[in-house]
Structure 1
């Protein structure tokens, strides 16, 4: 099946996933994590990509970001991928592909999915049982949003600012949201869209994206059309990703 063109409209947040090739480790030590964050900071600034949340895991990375231009996301990820791969291959004394194909990205409706996406990304290490609490994860932006350690990489989204009128209030409320956690259904939805790349939002939001796009923003219905009254009747669109 041919790949759909990447869809990253300006000023629309995206949930990003990039894995190591064959799920191999892409970070072997502290210097690797720091170098990746430095690469990301410089590339994001150069190509006008606002980073709202991130999580660096041993064999993959997650971002929530908003591109300023149509190519901001692709240019940033290409620049980071090339520069970091050179560093990693040199340090690890290896050659060949580091990343698993092209990164995946899903446009998200900010009012509905920005906060869940941030919590999803920053809670990754806890769900993987690599740390007991999110504040113990040095390589996510949770410590920034919880008021533990400011990150020069993070540009706070307006949804985060809406949590309170003061930094203390925002940080306290964010810590409470992380403690409450996300429902199993919400986690499953975010995970599905992070892997499939289909936009995530309400019907009205998807319809708006459809008008802006030259490609589909929802997968085609599965199965053959049913015949009703002698005529083919298409089933309602499914939100399942193509296999």
Structure 2
């Protein structure tokens, strides 16, 4: 079955996932993490992409971003992937591919699904057992969202600003949401959406997106098509 083209829409938030080839390590030490973080900050600005949340795990990374142009997302990911591979191969004395084929991405409704995605991203190291508290992980946006380590290059989306009228109120509200966490169903929905490239949000949101693209935005129903019986009318 042919793969669906990636969905990339300007001014809409996208959840992006990219892994190392065969899930190999792509960040060996702090120098690697820092280099990728620097490249992300610089290249996002170059390609007019706002970064809302991120996490760099040893063998993969997640981004929550909003491109200003239709080509902003693919141009950023292409430039970021190539620049980091050149650096990584030169530093670690290797050659060849580093990434697992295509990156995965999906569009999110800029409301509750977006906030869920921020929590999903920021809590990833804690779920993986790398830290006891999500804010202790140095290579994510969690400390920024909690106000412990502001990162001026990150852009808080409107849904985050709506959490409170002051920075303290927003940070306190987010801390409560982070502590409560996501249900297994919510986490699986976010994983499924980014893996399959399915738009995530309300039915009205997905329908509004569908009017902007011919690409299918949701899964087909499992099994055979339902038989339509003749109407009695």
Alignment of 1:132-151 (within 5 A): 132-151=132-151
Match of 1:36 in 2: 36
String of CA shifts for 1:170-205, please: whole Å, max 9, x gaps. Answer: 111111110111111111111111211111111111
Which structure ranks higher in relative contact order (CA pairs < 8 Å, sequence separation ≥ 6)?
2
Indicate the larger mover: 186-195 or 32-41: 186-195
Root-mean-square deviation (CA), in Å? 1.3
Match of 1:181 in 2: 181
Match of 1:20 in 2: 20
Kept in 1: contact 2:49–2:67 (CA 8 A): yes
Match of 1:108 in 2: 108
Indicate the larger mover: 55-64 or 167-176: 167-176
Match of 2:195 in 1: 195
String of CA shifts for 1:18-73, please: whole Å, max 9, x gaps. Answer: 00000000000001001001111111001111000000000000011111000101
Match of 1:50 in 2: 50
CA distance in 1: counterparts of 2:168 and 2:36, whole angstroms: 29
1:153 Cα shift? 3.0
Q: TM-score, normalised by structure 2?
A: 0.96
Q: Which runs of 5+ in 2 are unaligned?
A: none
Alignment of 1:112-127 (within 5 A): 112-127=112-127
Kept in 1: contact 2:57–2:125 (CA 8 A): yes
Match of 2:162 in 1: 162
1:150 Cα shift? 1.2
String of CA shifts for 1:73-128, please: whole Å, max 9, x gaps. Answer: 11011111000011111111111101001111010111121100000001000000
String of CA shifts for 1:126-157, please: whole Å, max 9, x gaps. Answer: 00011000111000000001011111331111
